[in-house]
Structure 1
Amino acid sequence: MKRPLLLGLGSLAGAALGLFACAHDDAIALTSDEEPSPLPALDGSTGADASPEDASDANAWSPCSGFGFCLLDTELPPLVALNAITGTAADDVWIVGTKGTVLHGSGTSFAPVPAGTDESLFSVWSPARDNVWISASSAPLHGSAKEGGGVKFERVPGSTWNPSGATGGRIWTVWGSSADDVWLAGEPSSRFGGNASVWQLTSDDAGAPGWRSVSICAPGKFCSPNIRASWGSPNGPAWLVGSRGENYTPEVADGGTLWASKDSRTLIALESVWGAPNGEAWAVGAGGTVRRFAPDKNSWEVIESPVSTALHGVWGRNADDVWIVGDEGVVLHWTGKALELETMHDRTTVAPDLNAIWGIDRQIWIVGNGVIFHAADAGSP
């Protein structure tokens, strides 16, 4: 018998020590005829519509949309793509993007924070104030409080760092259940030693930080998943999604904790995942793909999407208040029955791609190619 893991990710610490048995359900049944889709480039070089002209159009939008989102006045270079956003409170919000961009702020005001790099930054996670993790093109970055205030960033390559292995295979995502339980995932890479797609922060005998590889393959089987996004909560389940519709979640089974894979009914790249308090999970990706995991059925369901553009971010307050963002300024809102297409601007113009969304209480932020939107009071009552 299997049941969803309702423990923090810290309970998975034994995985990297070989005490963590890994297993799937039965082999994934790929019921879709869709072709695998390539992942988008978020390094500012080949992103759709990421041009100075488009940035000018974006900044010419009307100040606020008809449903509460306002375009913030930023001084970002026109080719900067903001890729991820997170926070611990409404006055402690972090945004990362290309060209080493790190922004920290509250509400409608953000300031740049030096990260000591000009490389692309893909994901950000903050377990507590003045404690920030960022996945980057090479080694991850960790931000901690510095004397006199503010946050300083340092590389955390780990004691088994392999520079030659860092030339390929991006680390797309970072997440955890607590400040002491930090995970990375992405494309297969040997940058931390042995080849893997998932790693957990640990320490060596001398107390130096390191990254242990974690296998999420079925026992006795080889797999090489390309993980694109992750989600987890301190006392709830965790999800990983990837470039061919693959997805993994830890479950408690007879004999231990296992990674299980579910049929997502697609081969499309899934680029973002979020879990609701009731155990549901939402995943979105290329071609307007939207999937919802129903815990009572232990399976993913197809949610009809009103768009065919790539979707890059999903976040919600609860199972009946879910927001999705994507290319060409697309914003979708689920209120319990259907996805509704919202209009981010009040006149026809070239819309920048939107890459991520996050919120807390009644406030929501959306980030994209050269833009930040903020709603002080948005969503379902």
Structure 2
Amino acid sequence: MNGRIFVVLGGLSTACALNALAACANNDAGASDTAPADVHTVPVPTPDAGADVAIADASPCADSSSDACVTTLDCATVDFCSSPFPAARVISLNSIWGSAADDVWAVGTHGAIFHSDGGPFVALASGTSDVYFSVWGTGREDVWTVNAKVPLHSTGFQNGSATFTPQPGSSWVASGASSGRIWGGVSTSASNVWLVGDPSSRFGASSSFWRLGADADGGAAWKAGNICPPDQFYCSGSARSLWGTDEANVWAVGNAGYGYRVDDAAAGHWKQLDTKTSADLRGVWGSSPNDVWAVGSRGTIIHSTGNDVWKVVESPTSRTLRAIWGSGPSDVWAVGDAGTVVHYDGQSWAAGTIGLTPSDAPSDLLGIWGSGPDDVWIVGDGLILHRTAMSRRHS
């Protein structure tokens, strides 16, 4: 089967998904009849069920001056290849996380909760049509997710199923959850769990940061964090993504270039950071407290090597980047709109490649996680991509 490789350098807007069944997880994309910029989209022969790799001989393009050429490729020539999607493509997967290569979770719209034991994902019955925005945890028996209103916790995948139980805590105020979303969370340990979102009073005092603690009776209670400078009584700001290594080292990013770092975890105080950008920031990740990255709108990539000093780094894309993950300081991936994948090799960022079956389309990519450099998953609008030991190498 022949495939077509697109190498498109334009900057036109694209639909959230070209597949008629795919749904948008965000509302800031337009439409276009052209292949998307900033990604090399390579349809490949449909793999056998459950396989991520289709074997074929690669052949060069006959006319390298053309913006598209017909060739036959296998997944060894691209960075990521499509993996079986276990439900209707109307589902958008917003987030992915795992405790190990054989314990991976993905969540999204229409109540989607998927699990992989190292093979193709399976869809679990959630019993709801709620939208899940994020999934994270510390191990197989400590898994969190959030819908728009409340966090939920699971003790993991056991006997072919999993149960996620709402964890509103004793500080919960139902009327305060009627506005503003919870967007994400992070656990640096089972006892250090943070949530971020839009400002609300769902857990008592108005805030957009909440840490899991205990009330006077020893019960679970979410406690509002404080992002105000010492000389400011009230301030407001939303956050979209969190990453951290321990109680003293947690970062958050949000709209308009806002960045934060935990200043006093016990007191729930966060320090506002000068990120050197006004772009909306959507994802944050680091290999250590002295190597932290964040990505966002217009292809923005920023980097900190410590001491709360950030700089804007040259990006190979103008597409919105929505998530970032790496196996180490010289192997970092970021993903975003219209199938955009970019890679950092320790020196610079460059566009990545994805291989799609004829039934797939380069939709918006919303989450990324891996257990190591040769086991990396990407999820998005009706699409799951996987990087394995057989994928294209980076020097």
Which interval holds the TM-score relative to the shorter structure?
0.7 to 0.9
Is 1:242 the counterpart of 2:254? The answer is yes
- Structure 2: give runs of 5+ residues left out of the alignment: 1-22, 36-40, 47-74
Deviation per CA, 1:90-148, whole angstroms, max 9, x where unpaired? 00101111111111113331112233321111111121113211111111111125885
- Structure 1: give runs of 5+ residues left out of the alignment: 1-41
Aligned residues: 331
Q: 1 CA distance for matches of 2:122 and 2:158?
A: 19
Question: Which residue of the other structure, out of 269, 272, 286, is the alignment partner of 2:283?
Answer: 272
**Contact 1:288-1:310 within 8 A present in 2 as well:** yes
Counterpart position of 1:336:
346
Deviation at 1:182, TM superposition (A): 1.2
Deviation per CA, 1:174-225, whole angstroms, max 9, x where unpaired? 1121112211111101111111111111232334322111112211312111
Task: Name the CA shift for 1:220/1:298 in 2 (closer, same or farther; >3 Å).
Answer: closer
Task: Name the CA shift for 1:346/1:46 in 2 (closer, same or farther; >3 Å).
Answer: closer
Structure with higher Rg: it is: 2
**Contact 1:65-1:345 within 8 A present in 2 as well:** no
**Contact 1:43-1:120 within 8 A present in 2 as well:** no
Deviation at 1:47, TM superposition (A): 6.7
Q: 1 CA distance for matches of 2:144 and 2:329?
A: 27
Q: 1 CA distance for matches of 2:45 and 2:109?
A: 26
Task: Name the CA shift for 1:60/1:78 in 2 (closer, same or farther; >3 Å).
Answer: farther
Residue range with higher mean Cα deviation, 282-291 or 130-139:
130-139
Q: 2 CA distance for matches of 1:96 and 1:315?
A: 17
Summarize the alignment of residues 1-381 of structure 1 with structure 2, pairs less than 5 Å apart. Answer: 44=25, 46=27, 48=29, 62-63=45-46, 64=75, 66-145=77-156, 150-221=161-232, 222-234=234-246, 237-251=249-263, 259-277=270-288, 279-295=290-306, 298-345=308-355, 350-361=361-372, 362-377=374-389
Q: 2 CA distance for matches of 1:183 and 1:282?
A: 19
Q: TM-score, normalised by structure 2?
A: 0.76
Counterpart position of 2:70:
none
**Contact 2:104-2:115 within 8 A present in 1 as well:** yes
Q: 2 CA distance for matches of 1:264 and 1:347?
A: 39
Task: Name the CA shift for 1:125/1:316 in 2 (closer, same or farther; >3 Å).
Answer: same
Q: TM-score, normalised by structure 1?
A: 0.79
**Contact 2:84-2:121 within 8 A present in 1 as well:** no
Q: 2 CA distance for matches of 1:204 and 1:43?
A: 39
SS at match of 2:285: strand
Task: Name the CA shift for 1:161/1:298 in 2 (closer, same or farther; >3 Å).
Answer: closer
Q: 1 CA distance for matches of 2:184 and 2:334?
A: 18
SS at match of 1:109: coil
Deviation at 1:309, TM superposition (A): 0.8
